[in-house]
Amino acid sequence: MSHTVEILSVGTELLLGNIANTDAQTLSQGLSELGLNVYYHTVVGDNPQRAREAVAIAKKRADIIITTGGLGPTCDDLTKNVLAEAFGKKLVFDEPSAERIRSYFAKTKRPMTENNLQQAMLPEGCTVLANDWGTAPGCAFQAEGVHVIMLPGPPSECRPMFQYRAKPYLQSLSEGVIASHTLKLFGIGESAMEAQLRDQMNAMSNPTLAPYAKEGECELRVTAKAPTDAEAQALLKPTVEQVKALFGSKVYGVDVSSLEEVVEGLLREKGMTIGVAESCTGGLMAKRLTDVAGASQVFLGGIVSYTNQVKAGMLHVPQHLLDQFGAVSPEVALAMAEGARKALGCDIALATTGVAGPDKDDWDNEVGTMFVAIATPDGTHVRPLKLGSRPVRARLRTQTAHHAFDLARRYLTGLPYEDGAV
């Protein structure tokens, strides 16, 4: 039997945007791993009538309803009441849950008000999902052909409750395994990528292909469903290889988080180090490199040379290049990379310079005019970029950093610097 899952998130704070609905993301990912299809996400505020209406809709279109939030002791915690009413369940006092709540407050040395024991009121005949990470227990029951699971809202409770309580309950409903691999691409837009894959995507049912546009790059997710993980992986492998062959060097990794993660891994493999000289990116590349665990093994440092004085004084960019070509030029970008390599003592140095806006620079360079350069033991290379004037400063900087890391990736893998990647 194929199951349809709806995640019903309860909380006015979600509707107001005060907090992000990370619970739904966590649950969707976990349910996919179980081979259960999430068809609907619903968010409803702390309003009994609207909550009743949301549950009534969910009952008609899903046979597994998982709720998050609304299990606490206050008057706006209404999830159990609404679900019990919807399925004709009486709420009864569960003494073991009450004892857990008392013990929790005793261990944390916090006073317990009596309203906390309301959390021990649970639907009659339900499976209690003990909460070892907070006070509100979860619960699960089946009625009217629908499986209902209620989980607390705080992510610090919801995540372990789902992993260690709800997942074992759901395991018996699982219809197999859903596995996926994500290919990361740089140097091609989502529309161009989709155009090359359209016929293939339309013809596929298992596995499937789904393109996603990210900040300055693209993702392509390949997903397969099978009785076991091994069978799912066997379905995925040929499609992944086909995509890699189709897009060639534009695929910079499979199941990796970022270009900089790939670059750092390659540097570690080769026993090489890297440094950066940044102008328009303002330290972004250094930040991204140090965000990767183990960065200290390969990243020696960075110089943010936002002014010509620093470019000349710390990177030893010749003054005549600054005077003749301006700071935003291929000549200066190359000199910055060479200067950083010498100043930092690294094997590879990356440099960025450009106009992030909102206006042209003193040399009449348009917003979005960028240059990224690389200096290596084998020489230097500069990539000119025209990123347009419409993106905001943050996006221009992100895209420029992507291009710089792409140069490093290409050098470290022996790929040509330019093969249509710009």
148 in helix, strand or coil?
Answer: strand
Query: pTM of the full predicted structure?
Result: 0.74
At the topology level of CATH, where does 177-254 sit?
Alpha-Beta Plaits (3.30.70)
pLDDT per residue over 243-288, tens digit each? 999 999 999 999 999 999 999 999 999 999 999 999 999 999 999 9
251 in helix, strand or coil?
Answer: strand
Cα-based torsion angle of the residue sequence 82, 85, 89, 95 in order, rounded to the nearest 10 degrees: 40
Q: Contact at 8 Å (CB) between 95 and 119? A: no
Q: Contact at 8 Å (CB) between 136 and 55? A: no
Distances (CA, A) of 410 to 79, 118, 383, 384: 54, 61, 12, 16
Query: What is the residue whose two structure tokens read 């619960």?
Result: 139
pLDDT per residue over 22-67, tens digit each? 999 999 988 887 878 899 999 999 999 999 999 999 999 999 999 9
At the topology level of CATH, where does 4-171 sit?
Molybdenum Cofactor Biosythetic Enzyme; Chain A (3.40.980)
Domain boundaries, the chain: 4-171, 177-254, 259-413
Q: Does domain 259-413 have CATH number 3.20.20.70?
A: no
Is the predicted pLDDT of residue 177 greater than 90, yes or no?
Answer: no
In this structure, what token pair is assigned to residue 404? 């710089």
The region of weakest confidence among 13-17, 263-267, 299-303 is: 13-17
Q: Return d(Cα 251, Cα 239) in angstroms, integer.
A: 14
pLDDT per residue over 133-146, tens digit each? 999 999 999 999 99
